[in-house]
Structure 1
Amino acid sequence: MNKISKITAGLILTLGFLAAQAQVEVSEETKAQLPIKELFLGMKNNDSSLVRQAFVVGGRLETVAKNKEGVVSVKSTPLTQFFATIASSPSGSLDERLMGMDIKIDGDMATAWTPYEFFYNGQFSHRGVNAFQLVKINDHWKIWSIIDTRRK
């Protein structure tokens, strides 16, 4: 093999290696989506341990609600209650379908905005938006809090 062929072969191998490296790297946004996807997969498959691992210990779960008089309040659900509901639900009964996901990241903090439709036992129940706050701890993204809206 002549010198030019060796250089060309070396360049091709190097470029191939770099292209493979670029394909393997996962974006930070994709990493931040993981606990959100684990949450909804765990809900659908009634896997409370998968859901639990998506959250920071002490995380929060809240809903913006409006009563019949139009008064708005924020209702909190203890995570232990949420986990118990998932564990006791039939597999497939809790199906929250995301209609999109917009993630903004600054260092070890991220916010995700996810419009959704929720189906219970295959029947449409409600729709709304989830607003997630995530934190990166030990190089893993976790859900710190979720606040959502719900409407028919």
Structure 2
Amino acid sequence: MNHFFALLLSAAATSSAFAQKVSSETAAVRQTVTSFFDGMRRGDSTMVRRTLAPGAVFHGIGGKPGQPSTLETESINGFLKAVSTPHPEIWDERVQFERVLIDANLASVWAPYEFYLGSKFSHCGYDSFQLVKLADGWKIAHIIDTRRKEKCK
């Protein structure tokens, strides 16, 4: 009976340590995504670039209403240049972390968002981030998003 109790305590301790590690990894993944958008709000392309993995890819699902969707590849350098170019309104993408999934050095984030130019609503949709854990922490390897002006969460 004592052996069973020791085994049960060991399993509980292992489970607790695993939960704490998962929780800290989830927080680190969320922080990378948050830093990406903080940099965008500040117009700080260096801050945004620090969140990206080498070779990162951006995609958007676009198209006109009533037309088939298109997959658009966005230039990372073009995006970074646009972020750092002064613009009259703050680019404010407000995300909610609906789901963060992690396995080893791969993470996936599913996040509904609303995008504002200053205080004016522009569009909404979902962001899907794929992150990898490299020597210097979690980095965004891929972003794909949907964009619409109606039926926002």
What TM-score comes out, normalization by structure 2 length?
0.78
CA RMSD between the two structures: 2.0
SS at match of 2:62: strand
Q: Percent identity?
A: 34
Question: Any unmatched runs of 5+ in structure 1?
Answer: 1-22
Matching residue within 89, 96, 101 for 1:104? 101
State how far apart, in whole Å, the 1-side matches of 2:86 and 2:92 are.
11
Helix, strand or coil for the counterpart of 2:97? coil
Runs of 4+ aligned residues of structure 1 deviating over 2 Å after TM superposition are: 66-69, 89-92
Match of 1:65 in 2: 62
User: Which residue does the alignment assign to 1:114?
Assistant: 111
Which position in structure 1 is the counterpart of 2:138? Answer: 141
Q: Could you say which structure has the larger radius of gyration?
A: 1
1:29 aligned onto 2:22: no
Deviation string 1:80-128 (CA, Å, 9 cap, x unpaired) is 0000000013486100011334100000000000100000122100000
CA shift, 1:68, in A, is: 4.2
Report if the CA contact (8 A) 2:53-2:141 is conserved: yes
CA contact (8 A) 1:62 1:76 kept: yes
Q: How does 1:80-95 map to 2 (within 5 A)?
A: 80-90=77-87, 93-95=90-92
1:42 aligns with 2:39: yes
- Aligned residues, how many? 129
In structure 1, distance between residues paired with 2:98 and 2:136: 21
Name the CA distance, whole Å, in 1 between partners of 2:114 and 2:138.
Answer: 24
Cα offsets for 1:30-79 (capped at 9, x unmatched): 01112101110001000100000000121011101122442111101110
SS of structure 1 residue aligned to 2:94: strand
In the alignment, residue 96 of structure 1 is paired with which amino acid?
A: E
Which amino acid in the other structure matches residue 30 of structure 1? A
2: CA distance, partners of 1:78 / 1:52: 13
Whether 1:51 aligns to 2:60 is no
TM-score after normalising by structure 1: 0.79
